[in-house]
Amino acid sequence: MSLLIKNAVIVNADKLAKQPRDILIEKGVIKKIASSIKEEKAKTIDTKGKLVFPGLIDIHAHFREPGEEHKETIESGVMAAAKGGFTTVMCMPNTVPVIDNRSIAELVVNESHRIGLINCIPIGAITKGQNSQELTDMFELKEAGCGALSDDGKCVSDSHLMRLAMEYAKMVDILLIQHCEDHALSSGSVMNEGVTSTLLGLKGDPGLSESVIVARDIELAHYLDSRIHFAHMSLKRSVELIRAAKARGIKVTAEATPHHFTLTEDELKSFNTNAKVHPPLRTKEDVEAIKAALRDGTIDCIVTDHAPHAREDKEKDLDHAPFGMTGLETAVGLAVTELIEPRVLSWSQMAQTMSAAPAKIMGLKNKGAIQEGLDGDVTIIDPDEEWIVCEKDFVSKSNNSPFVGRKLKGRVTETIRAGKIVFQQ
């Protein structure tokens, strides 16, 4: 069955089309883009008044399978992703057990294929059990289908081990993603360190815990001529370090989440555990620096860091509640409301940061643009629709979002993967 998308205002990273086009997807691939296509046998959808993006790609999400399926399964996770407009999602290895060997990686790959809704790629661990003691078999993990390696949730603290990891990853040709947190500096913290944490009587994480690892890994990447990708950047100082590293030609890329370009530590003033996240929400100055970095390309892409948690865990007090918030279903609304509306980013830059750049970072050659010959992955967005984030509307098994009750502008109306409509509003 082929799919014909009529009157598509195509938003690619390099340009926002002036004239609407028709897009024909056949056998999962974009076959033809032209001013008018007639194809009676094709299923047809009209996108007048909407924007047509290349399928969005989230290279950082947490599904809880295996081990904590009550929070999220791969199936509920990819359904939430499809609703959020994502056609490709990469899931982090901090499951129980950790994705640190072939059999667990294959379990995720096989389950994703069985569901088949969107493209779901596991990220393997850098160290066994994410314990920063012994490296995983990177070659085996890559062969099993892992698209990158990370100990996300934890940092590879040992500098020598990180050096070895970079050397092996370069040989195997797989990307390393660092969770930048010096655990010795952040230990016991529940929020950003500063006046607010002092007033609230809560243990703070000094931004330093992030920037020292960013600085260290930039030095390692430079010394070894290796690549490194930094997860969920939260800090003005990190942005400065990455900007300087890129200017020196060091192979570093970075990502930021909607919550880090939207919220500040002030969210914790109400002791809201849904605002407890790693890295913590920082200051207004940091939020502005993250937005400026997305605008000038210092931060390459937007990721959700979708981290579903059970209600009973988030109902604990701030000291005991887990870190993380669900993010797949609010990312587009937040990007439009917080970045497009205030003119921080253009629509093309949104296509860049949410599709083209993540595709490039992960080497997904047939994705990231709406172009003849590439995969038929498309996300259709109504740029004007306003909606309110409601707890009951989450498709994810968890609804630990600090954005519940917030009015957002911009909504995904259809998600198309390989020419098949996998979500429709």
The letter for the amino acid at 107 is L
Question: Would you count residue 305 as binding Zn ion (CB under 5 A)?
Answer: yes
Q: CA 117: distance to chain centroid?
A: 18
DSSP letter for each residue of 254-277: EEE-HHHHH--GGGGGGT-GGG--
For residues 75-102, one letter each, b for 16 or more C-beta atoms within 10 angstroms of the residue's C-beta and e for the rest, the string is bbbbbbbbbbbbbbbbbbbbbeebbbbb
Candidate residues 293, 307, 321, 408; the one interacting with ligand DOR per rule CB under 6 A: 307
Question: Would you count residue 62 as binding ligand DOR (CB under 6 A)?
Answer: yes
- Comparing CB distances to Zn ion, the nearer of 5 and 362 is 362
- Comparing CB distances to Zn ion, the nearer of 100 and 152 is 152
Known catalytic membership, residue 217: no
Residue count, binding to ligand DOR (CB under 6 A): 11
Q: Tell which residue, 277, 366, 289, has the closest CA to residue 322.
A: 277
Stretch near ligand DOR under the rule CB under 6 A, chosen from 28-36, 208-216, 245-253, 320-328: 320-328
Is residue 87 within 8 Å of residue 414, measured between CB atoms?
no
| Residue 418 falls in which region: left (phi positive, over 0), alpha (psi -120 to 50) or beta | left
Residue 114: CB atoms within 10 A of its CB come to 9
Candidate residues 22, 65, 72, 152; the one interacting with Zn ion per rule CB under 5 A: 152
Work out what residue 324 binds among ligand DOR, Zn ion, none; the CB cut-off runs from 5 to 8 Å by kind. Answer: ligand DOR
Question: Would you count residue 278 as binding ligand DOR (CB under 6 A)?
Answer: yes
Question: Would you count residue 323 as binding ligand DOR (CB under 6 A)?
Answer: yes
- Comparing CB distances to ligand DOR, the nearer of 190 and 350 is 190
CB of 278 to ligand DOR, least distance (A): 3
The letter for the amino acid at 390 is C
- Comparing CB distances to ligand DOR, the nearer of 184 and 247 is 184
Is residue 178 within 8 Å of residue 127, measured between CB atoms?
no
Question: Would you count residue 324 as binding ligand DOR (CB under 6 A)?
Answer: yes
- Comparing CB distances to Zn ion, the nearer of 119 and 326 is 326
Stretch near ligand DOR under the rule CB under 6 A, chosen from 45-53, 123-131, 247-255, 321-329: 321-329
Is residue 85 within 8 Å of residue 385, measured between CB atoms?
no
Q: Which of residues 156-185 bind ligand DOR (CB under 6 A)?
A: 179
What tokens were used for 321? 């509640």
Interatomic CA distance for residues 351 and 368, integer angstroms: 8
Interatomic CA distance for residues 245 and 241, integer angstroms: 6
Work out what residue 206 binds among Zn ion, ligand DOR, none; the CB cut-off runs from 5 to 8 Å by kind. Answer: none
CB of 154 to ligand DOR, least distance (A): 8
Helix axis angle for 236-247 and 284-296, nearest 10°, is: 30
Question: Would you count residue 375 as binding Zn ion (CB under 5 A)?
Answer: no
Candidate residues 153, 327, 402, 410; the one interacting with ligand DOR per rule CB under 6 A: 153
The one catalytic residue in 151, 305, 375, 382 is: 305
Question: Would you count residue 217 as binding Zn ion (CB under 5 A)?
Answer: no
- Comparing CB distances to ligand DOR, the nearer of 267 and 382 is 267
Residue 319: CB atoms within 10 A of its CB come to 11
Residues forming contacts to ligand DOR in the complex (CB under 6 A) are: 62, 94, 152-153, 179, 277-278, 307, 322-324
Binding site for Zn ion (CB under 5 A): 152, 305
Mind telling me the catalytic residues?
Answer: 305
